[in-house]
Amino acid sequence: MGILTRYLIRAHVGPFLFAFLALTGLLFLNAVAQRMENLVGKGLSMEVIGEFILLSLPHTVALTLPMATLVSVLYTFSQLTAGNEITAMSAGGVKPARLLLPLVGVGAILALGMLYFNDEVLPESNHRLKNLIVDIGKKSPTLELREQVVNHIRMESRRGSVYLQAREIDRLADELTDVVIYDLSDPSAQRTTYAERGSMAFNQARTDLYLTLYDGVVHETRGDQIGAFNRSFFQEQVIPLRGVGTELERQQGSAYRSDREMSLVMLLREIDVRGRELRTVQENTRDRAREAVRDALGRFDPAADQDGIGATQSATARAVNRSSQLANELPMTLPERDTYTRSVAQGSRQSMSQVEAIERLIRQYKVEWHKKFAIAYACMVFVLIGAPIAVRFPRGGVGMVIAVSACIFAIYWAGLIGGENLADEGKVSPFVAMWTPDLLFTALGLYLVSRMGRESASQRGGGWDDLIWTFRKAVGSLFRRKPATA
């Protein structure tokens, strides 16, 4: 089995690397394209853009590694079956199910590597990417000026702000039409500039923006001169906006981490901290409720709370039995009782909202904790489910590999995302939500593996028509009526 094991592993290396690089490239380009709007018009250096792209890569790798495992298993086993190599191995006394043992071992190694990646690399990259996006978002969006909108331009060289509005903006020529500038940088004066057209240009360092306005008028009023108004016309005027924030300032970053920015140890620590906080809130809520009951009953019977909770319960029973008699003996007036009742109810609602928020956080942390293990375990699951399908339908070619992979992944990720939403809402437990897709696919894979030696495809079978017929037969058996019995 040593030679056969090495042969099977070598046969999977090429398809795995090709599938991994192809899938990572496609999904990575899609992810970067969606986030490019955060980079456009910022005047960022190539180092910052490269860091942004590099930090966006681990999230894609976490998705494509299990996908590449399934694609490589489907492709390799379909090629082995189409070349009658599986048949030759079976004739030599090697069971088809036994061929999966080395691949399951490789899947276990990939699962351990994936678990380390999800625990150490992915959370840290997500955290650094979030801080980088926050720093980029603080830059002045000078080249993202919107038409017919009052755009706020922040400048480091002025205490106040400048607001710009234009009817039309030509981004290719950097020209503006019907420009209005509200200059609030000087507290002692208010200056409004109107121009028929204008142009924008940066200096070489891209730190200052120069607006060249044509055919306009300036209205200016000063706070130290009551009733004074100055109006001046111009044919061409240059307005410098210095320090518009085109230089990226890297901050230390926020220490707060969301659930996807935490490792397994951090998640367990947060679950423990939130659990203690939840117990504290619940105890405080119970204490306030007991104090409210004791306060109310104490007005009827001062000796009601001598023995703690048990005395309170007995006092409550006595108060209920004597409610008609004690209603006239209340020292509280009606407005006082109404205010007191409302304060207690408001405090209870606030406590309930706080408890629900903490419980939701705990569920999110538990979901993320189980998700790291579930996604890593998927590398082994896809080996079990991919090989039997490839052996059964070897003549489907690359099209069948792509179609089956897309179908399996659509079902798997839909179950994972749907389970995550249900677990966050508290409708199912985090364990059930995250592990149900893996357990179902594991059961299906083991069933298909058990039938690998019974079902085999001929040279004329195992194609698309056979796959469609098998699917129709399986679906039809679910809706076929059973014959009525006498």
pLDDT digits (tens, 9 = 90+) for 395-412: 667 777 888 888 999 999
What band does 250 get if pLDDT is binned at 50, 70 and 90?
Answer: low
Q: What integer pLDDT is reported at residue 228 of this predicted model? A: 75
What is the C-alpha separation between 128 and 125, in angstroms, rounded?
5
What is d(CA 384, CA 377) in angstroms, rounded to the nearest whole number?
A: 12
- Residue pair 243/207 in contact (Cβ under 8 Å)? The answer is yes
The model's pTM is: 0.66
The residue behind tokens 């590449």 is: 68
> What is the spatial order of strands in the sheet that 189-202 belongs to?
151-153, 162-170, 175-183, 189-202, 208-222, 230-242
Query: Which amino acid type is present at position 227?
Result: G
pLDDT on residue 81: 82
Q: How far apart are CA 125 and CA 130, in angstroms?
A: 9
pLDDT score, position 316? 43
Q: Are 374 and 435 in contact (CB under 8 A)?
A: yes
Which residue do the tokens 């070349």 mark? 83
* Token reading at 80: 């082995």
- 480: phi then psi, degrees, rounded to nearest 5: -70, 135
Q: What is the pLDDT of residues 9-23, one digit of tens each?
A: 888 899 999 999 999
Determine the pLDDT at residue 441: 93
State the virtual CA torsion across 427, 432, 438, 444 in degrees, nearest 10.
Answer: -90
**Residue 271's CB: how many other CB atoms inside 10 A?**
17
Residue 83 has which token pair? 């070349």
User: Alpha-carbon distance 15 to 21, whole Å?
Assistant: 10
pLDDT surpasses 70 at 424: yes
What is the distance between the alpha carbons of residues 154 and 107, in angstroms, rounded to a whole number? 54
Mean of the per-residue pLDDT values for the chain? 78
Residue 303 — very low, low, confident or very high, per pLDDT cuts 50/70/90?
very low
Average pLDDT over residues 71-77: 89
> What residues contact 428, with CB distance under 8 A and at least 6 apart?
419, 422
Distance CA 295, CA 302 (A): 9
DSSP characters for 396-456? GHHHHHHHHHHHHHHHHHHHHHHHHHHHHTTSS-HHHHHHHHHHHHHHHHHHHHHTTTT--
Kindly state the tokens that stand for 387: 């090989």
Residue 238 region, left (φ>0) first, then alpha (ψ -120 to 50), else beta? beta
Q: Is the pLDDT of residue 458 over 80?
A: no
315-323 — which CB contacts under 8 Å span 24+ positions?
none
**Measured CA distances, 182 to 42, 177, 189, 232 (Å):** 23, 16, 11, 15
Which backbone phi and psi does 455 adopt, to 5 degrees? -110, 130
Q: How far, in Å, CA of 316 to CA of 330, rounded? A: 15
Mean pLDDT of the 362-376 span? 93
* Type and span of the H or E element at 275: helix 264-298
**Encoded tokens for 162:** 């400048």
Structure confidence at residue 249 as a pLDDT band (50, 70, 90): low
- How many CB atoms sit inside 10 A of residue 225's CB? 11
Asked if the model's pLDDT at residue 321 lies above 50, the reply is no
